[in-house]
Amino acid sequence: MDSSSSCFHSDPDFCPECGSILPLPGLQDTVTCPRCKFKIDVKDFEGKVVQSSTVFNKLEGSTTLLQGKEAVEIHGPMIERKCLRCGHEGMTYHTRQMRSADEGQTVFYMCLKCKYQEKEDS
């Protein structure tokens, strides 16, 4: 199969048959879709510029919240959840996969006021 026998027209980065992202052209004469094996002549990619970028989140993703006269460092997103120990409304949370992959994640909560931590298995 070649690009002239495709029923669809697509962006050059995608397979015109199934829509999958195409690999970059290499030394071969054709670019082959890894999903449906559709082949496109490598000459169709001449003059095309491919750009990519990777954006990394900051390693320490914490912010500071002023609570009264003292600053409280927040790690993770903040939600409206009542602390079981002090009754304060506002906790941060993060998740971890503690069990096998086919089971839900465990959610860890931390009170912004008293630093009490609790967990919830889903």
Secondary structure of residue 3 in the 3-state scheme: helix
Any domain includes 12: yes
Is there a domain that residue 69 lies in? Answer: no
Which residues form the domain of 91? 78-121
Quick count: other Cβ atoms within 10 Å of Cβ 118?
Answer: 15
In whole angstroms, what is the distance from residue 65 CA to residue 91 CA?
12
Residue at 57 is within a domain: no
Is residue 64 included in any domain, yes or no? no
114 assigned ligand-binding residue: yes
For the beta carbon of residue 94, count every other beta carbon within 10 angstroms. Answer: 14
User: Residue 73: its pLDDT value, please?
Assistant: 61
Q: Which pLDDT value is given to residue 71?
A: 57
86 annotated ligand-binding residue = yes
- Domain CATH for 114: 2.20.25.10
Count of structural domains within the chain: 2
| 40 in any annotated domain | yes
Residue 68 lies in a domain: no
Q: Is residue 4 part of a domain?
A: yes
pTM of the predicted model over 0.75: no
Rounded Cα distance, 110 and 89, in Å: 11
Residue-by-residue pLDDT tens, the chain, 122 positions = 444 566 667 677 888 888 888 888 888 899 999 999 999 888 888 888 777 788 876 655 555 555 555 555 666 788 899 999 999 998 989 888 888 888 888 999 999 889 899 998 87
The pLDDT of residue 60 is 55
7 is in an annotated binding site: no
Q: Is 36 annotated as a binding residue?
A: yes
Q: How far apart are CA 97 and CA 99, in angstroms?
A: 6
Q: What is the pLDDT of residue 116?
A: 92
